Structure 1
Amino acid sequence: MPEQAEFGTGSATPQRGRIIFLNGTSSSGKSSIAKELLQVLDEPYFHMPVDTFHGMRSRREVTPDELRLVLRRTWMGFHRAVAGMAAAGNNVVVDHVLSEQWRLLDCLGLFAARDVVLVGVHCSLLELERRERERGDRPTGLAARQLAQVHAHGLYDIECDTTTASAVDCAQHIRDFLPQRPTPTAFEQLRAKLRPDLTTAG
């Protein structure tokens, strides 16, 4: 088969892909920025939104305790899918909500830290509440409940504020930052601080 001939066991290990990791509350504009990034970035990128993974689940009714377990497993599977895409050499744009600390800790253990561009997506509470009302597909007050924890780790490679900046402006800002991003990356620093059990740098 042609595919086996090109990517068979004798082929070289692909270079790891970059992960542009957009973190912010619900309705902060992450998905809009991700879509614009796919238009302005020079290399091919895949947008992997966590909402797509949640949407794959069957609609069978489950108890609240079961739902918590299902949601946790969904997030864990999402993280591993992103890690697998990047490990195969694909560039990925991820939109994420780090509203529980274990999610960040899990990602720190899975992703090659030097290949992650951690982007803080901020938005004022008033604007978040306005967007929630306008969308009508999110629980009232969801973004407000997430706000304190989402940015609690306090460290980013680059940040943007969608209260006033458009998704296009944010995407261009991120694109222009990529060639000059400093090291150690935010993920490398967070990994050293929060995951000392990981002795080898990734």
Structure 2
Amino acid sequence: MIIFLNGTSSSGKTSIARELLPILGDTYFSLPVDAFHAMRTTPPDLGPDRLADVLKRTWMGFHRAVAGMAAAGNNVLVDHVLSERWRLLDCLALFAPADVVLVGVRCPLPELERRERERGDRPPGLAARQMAQVHAHGLYDIECDTGTTSALDCARRIRDFLPHRPTPTAFERLKLLPPRGIPAA
């Protein structure tokens, strides 16, 4: 199974994942996209075009690592930002859609902005720029709002949802859409 947490930067995905891992009752690998970015070295003088290419290759490698772990029979908890349409299309092509639980992680903009200021490790306004794009596809199996619900309560809600997940899953429904039918992010 792939539990796929999708939300803007600072929406609470990592906090939910941290609370969810110990209560799942099975072996899971936590694979946050930020961990893949942290493994990469990037020369400081890299131009914007080359940087964009490096970032895209990082995301593509991340998707393939998740797919490989799941294909080997591992449960995976993914923390990601589907802020570009191609990322969702790539995941739809790689993951077994029946095995994906797509979780929308939302948070009101004022709280996102507060969290960004507090963190200090993200460009100001990043979450605001991502908001419409991240959720553009519009389909989830379950959603959480970390502006009104604690990370632990979101984690418990996801855990309790897993035995009752719908068929078809959100990923199965998205996979049935033609690529042009998936809204641009």
TM-score by length of 2: 0.95
Structure with larger Rg: 1
Deviation of 1:194 (Å): 3.6
- Asked if residue 98 in structure 1 is aligned to residue 72 in structure 2, the reply is no
- Asked if residue 56 in structure 1 is aligned to residue 39 in structure 2, the reply is yes
For structure 2, the 5+ residue unaligned runs are 181-185
Deviation track 1:94-143 (CA, whole Å, cap 9, x = no partner) reads 01101000000000000000000000000000000000011111100000
Deviation of 1:48 (Å): 0.1
Q: 1:1-202 residue pairs with structure 2 within 5 A?
A: 18-61=1-44, 62-195=46-179
Conserved? CA contact 1:41–1:175, under 8 Å? yes
Conserved? CA contact 1:45–1:92, under 8 Å? yes
Deviation of 1:58 (Å): 1.2
Conserved? CA contact 1:109–1:195, under 8 Å? no
Question: Equivalents in 1 of 2:118, 2:73: separation in Å?
Answer: 38
% identity of equivalent residues: 75
Q: Between Structure 1 and Structure 2, how many residues are aligned?
A: 179
Question: Equivalents in 2 of 1:195, 1:114: separation in Å?
Answer: 18
TM-score by length of 1: 0.87
The RMSD of aligned alpha carbons is: 1.0
- Which ranges of 4 or more aligned residues in structure 1 deviate by more than 6 Å? none
Question: Equivalents in 1 of 2:9, 2:178: separation in Å?
Answer: 24
